[in-house]
Each structure stands twice: as C-alpha cells, then as structure tokens.
Structure 1
C-alpha cells in the first residue's frame, strides 16, 4: 500500500506540471528524429515579425530614367548614380525608417540631417553618419550575400537590408553595444570582467564582454575547431566562457537554441552541423566589418550621446538586425522596392562566387570553400514544421 501511495505522489505532480505545458510550446523538427535536433519555443516568449512600412509611393520604371541626382543636387556623394526621382523616393523612405516627421522623433523629418537653408551642407553630424550608413547598406547587400542570401537551394532574390531592418522608425536601433570601462586596478570593486549577470551572457557570472574580441576585434572562436577550423590558440577556460557568452547572445538574438546550427552530439564537428552554422560564421564576420569599417571608422563624428561609457560609439550585434527572430522581419524581401540599395552601384568589389573566399576571411580562418555544404544531418533535414 505504501508503495502505491508513493507512486501516486510521484505521478500526480508530473501530470500537473506536464499539463501546464500543453498548448504553450511549439516544436520544430530540424533533422532526423532521435538526434535531439529540434527547436522548442514557448508561445508566450516568441517574437513576432515587425511590420514593414509600405513604400512612400510607387517607383515606376520611367522614374529611374533621366537626370542623375549628382548632376541635379550639390554634394551627393553616395546615391548620385540614381535618377532624381529615385533619389527623392529613397530619401522619403529613409526619413520614415530613421526619423519620421510624425512627432515621435525630436526634429524628425528632413531637418534631422539637413539644414533647410542649405541642404548640401554637412554641418549636421547626422548627415555625415547617414551617408556612411548608406555606403554600409550598399556594401552589405553587395558583398555579404553568403550570409543573408543563402536560402538552401531556393532563390532568395531581393533579400538584403535597408535602414528599416535595424532602425524601425527610430534614430537608434533598439539593440546595440559598446566597450566596457576599464576594470579598476585595486582589489575592491574589481570583478575581473565577470560576475555581473547580463542578458548577453544569459545572466550567468561569465565574462561579460563577449563582443569586443569577436564582433569588433580580430579574435576567432577556437575552443574546439580542430577539423574545418584549425585551432589557433591554447584552449582555455576564459576563451570557452567568452565563447559561451557570444553563443548565448546569438541564441537570444535569433530566438533559437543551440541545435539551430549545431549537432547536439558533437558541437565542434562541422561535417554534421546544419547549413545555418556557415551562415552564422559569415554573419560574425559581417558584423565585425560593419563595426570596424563603418561605425568605428567615423571616429570623432559621433557625439557623446552616441557613445558608450568607455567613449566608443554604439555598435551592432546579431540582435540589431534580428530582434529575436532567426530571419530579420520574418524574411521580408526588403530590396524589392528599393533597388538603389542593392549595391549594384557600389564601388566595392562584387560578391564572391560560392567557390571564392568570403570577404576578409583567410583560408586558415574559415572553410576552404565558402560554399561548403554541411554534412548528412543538414543534407537530410526535414522541413521544419510546428508540432503540438
């Protein structure tokens, strides 16, 4: 009899707790069953894709013809190769994306970047920043297609980014980061760069600066990479903890768990990883390119209110574009209505073919073939379908 009651005591709480989960989660199968390669998402915390504003008006083919913007206007350094009509159309969209004139942004509208008495002037720093950001947007769309234009065998035409991808109607994107202030030299108050639970480290007492080395510096994750990625430093506890912090950020920033990219039976093995791991690898390099060559490169242009506590400008990470969704904005084809941002006019080198190196990545640092296909788990993965 006692054994019977003990069994009931064990079963009843399990049933109650299990019942609490009914209808609250979605399971997406990413690979063969039995390998624990699925995404488990709780409905209460699932992010939904933000709405994308419609174009300011229709851009017809004839509007793309005629006089170039650089000939009609003064000091047009980036979009001067498009027509006057397309230039005005793009400026109207950019205003809506970054500083709308609806009262939500102080001094919003054209005057956010321009002196209305002299539209050609560069006296307002936001115009200098906007110009550099337009260069960045074109460069991303031209040169980083290995990250965002890989639809695993299906056409992904017009994939890419616009200012809305990050800004979403605000001068500052919702997600950014900056360097941490130097740690004090005395014992009191010196946390040795850790023991400060933050969201980017999943609130663990890990090194809290997981971004400086990987998203702006030239550090590479080398905890296990012994096959496709040669191990270039001595594996250490500090390196492992910092890597974990970055991985937690990527997981939260994209709203996925570890097996979205990795094989749970061997996290370090590339052959059995999902194709998304290659995308993540190029994404880290793309973010580093943005931070180093476009944001930090502006130097003293940034005012104090656009800098972090260490004096460096606010920079981007994975969450800046993704905002908790594995495909930013739910995979909307952002460039369909804005051909001027595709990068076809960019002076940057063309995007590499699948067999060519990824921009800025040496053969020793990344896969010998940037179009390398993942192993059988990824090749045989089923289409992800929600399950009860």
Structure 2
C-alpha cells in the first residue's frame, strides 16, 4: 500500500508542476506586459523604442539627483596651503574644497560619512585604501569631463553618477572565467551554453566585457555581403558581440535601433547619431578600465576583488547609465562643480 501511494505521488507531482508551468505560460500569454512606443525613424522601418511603464517609472526613480550645496565661489585661500597632503584639489579655495568634500560624502558614503575615506584623527593620513582610491577616482572624473566630451558632452559626470550614495557603485563587473568544464572535444566553446545574466539570461557568452571593454576586441561583425567575402569575423565572434549588445540595451533601457538603423545594421551613414556617441563611450570605458581601475588592484583588500579572477572592479555602460539612455536623465551636475572639469595633475605623486 505504501509503495502504491509513493508511486502515485511520484506520478502526480510532475503533473502538478507541469500544470502550474502551463498555467503561468497561458497567463503571461493572455496578459502581456503593457508597453509604450516612441517612434524615432520613418514609419514602417521598425525604428521604435518600446518601454514598459513600470520599468520606466522604476528607472526614473533610480535616477533622481540629490540636493546640492550652493557654490562657494573661487576666492579665498587655496586648500593646498591650508591643509596637508592635498594632491589633486590643492588649487581649489578652502570654501569650495569643503563643499566638494561634503558633497562627495553624500554621493559616495551616505551611510559611513567622512570616516569612509579618512582617518578622522588625522585627515592628512593616507593609510586607508579608500582615500587612495578616492583620490584616483577624482582624477578619473576630471579626465572624463575634460578629455571625453565626445561621449559625455557638457553634462559630464560626478562621483554620484556611478556611486549613487554607495561606497562601491551598484553596477561594476569582474572577469568571469565561468564554471568548470570538461577539456578536449567535450569543452564548451566561447563560454556559451550557460545562463548569462550579462546577456539577458540567454546562452550567449557570459563574459562579453573582458574582450571588448578591457581588451580591444573587434566588435563589429555584420557583413555587407551574403558570403564571408571581406569579413573575417566568425560566428563565435558574432555571438560575443550579440551578448555585449544585449547588455548595452539593458544598461540604457533601449532597443537595438537606438543606435542602429534596422534597414542596415552595419551602415554608419544610415545610423542615428547615438551610434557615434556609443563608439566613443566604448573606447572611453576601455581607457578607464586600463589606466585607472585595473591599476588599483594592488591597493584594494581581497574582499573588494573579483571572486573568480581576483581583479579590480571595472566599469561598463550600466555603471553610469543605470537603465536610462542618459545618466541621471541628462541632468548636468558638473556645472555646479567646476573643479571637476579641470584636467587632473599629471605628476605621479598625485596618486
């Protein structure tokens, strides 16, 4: 009797699961998510941006800016003559220097306060790794705002653009070698066939960032001809690119046609101007990862390094954009902080 009940239970459980899954699929099919469409190309070309109202509202809520302390002006003694060990902002007057420090606390360490980066018994002390990193990040912000205007324009960035009040930005990435796998002919090529959060849960390569946003991998794979003539890129390389493009789409909350023309994805002359902006953004991210973030690896404690490769946290599109096509919805915070638009000191001791 017990055996019969057990057999019946084993039979009914998968049936119940199957019915639940079927019901969920039917419910989703009968109640598709509501979307809003915004046409930004010729009719009939598919140049339409689709957005879910709930997702749009959530993105708007996550991209509000904090209040700003009024500008303190450019008069008065310089911070470098009043305080010790000021290597980046020494030419900023004391009032504005203090205002920026207060703002940075709100932008980066809303919960921890000044002690997140400073030894409060001796503010000149460099023993905390967070202070060394913050100094380098200040230089990075100045570099972006002064040398990468082809991507950030006059809007620029501040610490808050990425950090959103947190000591570590909510969106960073680490190199991902993936799960252990068999060797030889049984090996899974190109990191595929595993659910990839980077590529929207698909089985596309799960780490498209290392080859494209740290190394200088070739992103463009679309051929101008039906055959391979003149286009040496392989299908595997195309899959890496598609994984990266899916992440771009999610990071900016847009469709592919935000940067590409559906009539001809490869054509630059037919593409919207956003494609050129994105081209510069890709190169900016590579340069930031290579020159500013990777070199900080030796300054960071083990708990701040990547769990698999032990690398430093790096940036990608989501770090700044956070789900919208213009970070912080295009609000210009930099105009209130002119010291963040100057070129950073080039001498090595500023690090």
Give me the TM-score of the superposition, normalised by structure 1.
0.75
Cα distance, 1:178 vs. partner?
0.6
1:146 matched residue in structure 2: 150
Count residues in correspondence.
311
How far apart are the structure 2 equivalents of 1:94 and 1:60? 15
* Match status 1:68 vs 2:78: yes
1:176 matched residue in structure 2: 172
1:333 matched residue in structure 2: 332
Is there any run of 5+ residues in structure 2 with no aligned partner, and where? 1-26, 347-351
Cα distance, 1:267 vs. partner?
0.5
* Match status 1:97 vs 2:107: yes
Across the aligned residues of Structure 1 and Structure 2, the Cα RMSD in angstroms comes to 2.5
Cα distance, 1:70 vs. partner?
1.0
The equivalences for 1:1-388 within 5 A come to 24-46=34-56, 47-49=59-61, 50-55=63-68, 57-61=69-73, 64-100=74-110, 105=111, 108-149=112-153, 157=154, 159-181=155-177, 184=180, 186-187=182-183, 191-192=188-189, 193-224=191-222, 234-308=232-306, 309-342=308-341, 344-347=342-345
Q: Encode CA deviations 1:159-216: one digit per residue, 9 max, x unaligned.
A: 1100100101101111111111376574499544122212211211111110001111
8 A Cα contact 1:217 1:288, kept in partner = yes
How far apart are the structure 2 equivalents of 1:126 and 1:232? 49
Cα distance, 1:234 vs. partner?
2.2
Q: Look up the SS of the partner of 2:336 in the other structure.
A: coil
Q: Look up the SS of the partner of 1:305 in the other structure.
A: helix
8 A Cα contact 1:182 1:310, kept in partner = no
How far apart are the structure 2 equivalents of 1:240 and 1:336? 40
How far apart are the structure 2 equivalents of 1:186 and 1:124? 43
Cα distance, 1:336 vs. partner?
2.2
Give me the TM-score of the superposition, normalised by structure 2.
0.83
How far apart are the structure 2 equivalents of 1:59 and 1:271? 43
Is there any run of 5+ residues in structure 1 with no aligned partner, and where? 1-15, 150-156, 349-388
